[in-house]
Structure 1
Amino acid sequence: MATPRSQRIGIWIITVVLAVGTFGSFLVMALSVQNQSIDQQDQYQQYLDQQKEAAKLNAANSDVLAGYSVTPFTDSSITQLKVDVLEEGSGDVVKATDSINASYFGWLSDGTIFDSSKKKNAEDTPITFSLAGVISGWTEGLTGIKVGSTVRLSIPSDKAYGVTGSGIIPANAPLMFIVKINKIDNSTKA
């Protein structure tokens, strides 16, 4: 028995409506995913901009430690990690797995101080951190140094922030730090 013509037309209409609806749904989903991706990119860029602004404010408020100053250097002069002991301490030897309490300041080759435990018009506020959670130049450079020591770290970019940079620190920038190790404080370890 053959289906009547009106029934075949109805089946075709239903098929076309389903096909158009399915195609439309896929189109809406694709546009939604694309819009979400654009929104995520915008949010990430805003986050990066906020991080850079915070780094600029931190740098503007950073100061040198008493008795020390920024020493000039060129990017090409720092090709490997160098540790200069400025003042030898007499305490325990720092291990790479330790958390330490330290006073410090760091600068770029143009003399810009980008971070410091000493803020302008304020007392030095040493920080406690795990050597496992900092740039490799700090971990390698401070391992084996005695508590109470003050060192100058000359850190090549590959042991600092590398090709990505961080905040106001440009990509491929070598760094210099003056670091005074105040104590080992493993009470902060997880």
Structure 2
Amino acid sequence: MKYLLSTIFVMTLFISCTSDAGLERIPEIKDYTVQNEKEITDYIAKNKLTAQRTSSGLYYVINEPGTGTQPTSTSNVTVAYKGYYTDGKIFDQSKDTGISFGLNQVIKGWTEGIPYFKAGGSGILLIPSHLGYGPLPYNGIPGGSVLIFDVKLLSVN
């Protein structure tokens, strides 16, 4: 009898520990790579852009290459920009005087993309989510979002 009660107790404990009751589910992380690639290439075609694709999946358009210093991925730069989604909705924008920051302190798409320009240059960065804010929502930006930035590299500091 003692053995039977011990067995029932252990089984009850085991079953209650393996139950999902009361546990919050961790959301499945979606891979947006294929969806982002199509969204970017559709945007490029629709807007008749001549864009270059890097091996990481970043696309960039150089409207004006610039004539000044070319930054590296660790440079401190001043950039004027407008950030928006492929539907044109703006999510962020700097003043014309720009903002300064280290390229090693921003999203991967900027760290990789800004060095394609020299000071005085301008263009567009089309950034898939894995080089932006990733698959989960971040500060109002929906998870998996393609980010587009019109950028002007004002200076390499």
- Using the size of structure 1 for normalisation, the TM-score is 0.53
Gaps of 5+ in 2: 1-34, 42-56
Structure 1 consecutive aligned stretches of length 4 or more whose deviation exceeds 4 Å? none
What's the counterpart of residue 86 of structure 2? 109
Any unmatched runs of 5+ in structure 1?
1-73, 119-123, 186-190
Return the index of the structure with the highest Cα Rg: 1
Q: CA RMSD in A?
A: 1.7
Q: Is the 8 A contact 2:76 2:103 kept in 1?
A: yes
**1:3-42 alignment runs, 5 A limit:** none
| TM-score normalised according to structure 2 size | 0.64
1:43-88 Cα offsets, whole Å, 9 max, x none, are xxxxxxxxxxxxxxxxxxxxxxxxxxxxxxx953227211100112
CA distance in 1, matches of 2:140, 2:86: 13
Contact 2:80 2:99 in 1 (8 A): yes
- For 2:106 and 2:128, how far apart are their aligned partners in 1? 15
| Shift of residue 163, structure 1, vs aligned partner | 1.2
Decide which of 173, 176, 179 is 2:151's aligned counterpart: 179
Matched, 1:78 2:33: no
Map 1:61-100 → 2, pairs under 5 A: 75=36, 76-78=38-40, 80-100=57-77
Percent identity (aligned): 39
CA distance in 2, matches of 1:176, 1:144: 16
Read off the aligned partner of 1:77 and give its amino acid letter. Answer: E
CA distance in 1, matches of 2:135, 2:92: 19
Whether the 8 Å CA contact 1:108–1:169 is kept in 2: the answer is no
* 1:164 CA displacement: 2.1
1:141 to 96, 113, 132: 113
1:166 aligned onto 2:138: yes
CA contact (8 A) 2:39 2:86 kept: no
Instruction: Quote how far apart the aligned CAs of 1:177 are.
Output: 0.3
Measured in 1, the distance between the counterparts of 2:141 and 2:132 equals 10
- 2:85 partner amino acid: L
Q: What letter is aligned with 1:99?
A: N
Judging by fraction of residues, say which structure has more strand: 2
| SS in structure 2 of the partner of residue 168 of structure 1 | coil
Matches of 1:82 and 1:165, distance apart in 2: 22
Aligned residues: 107
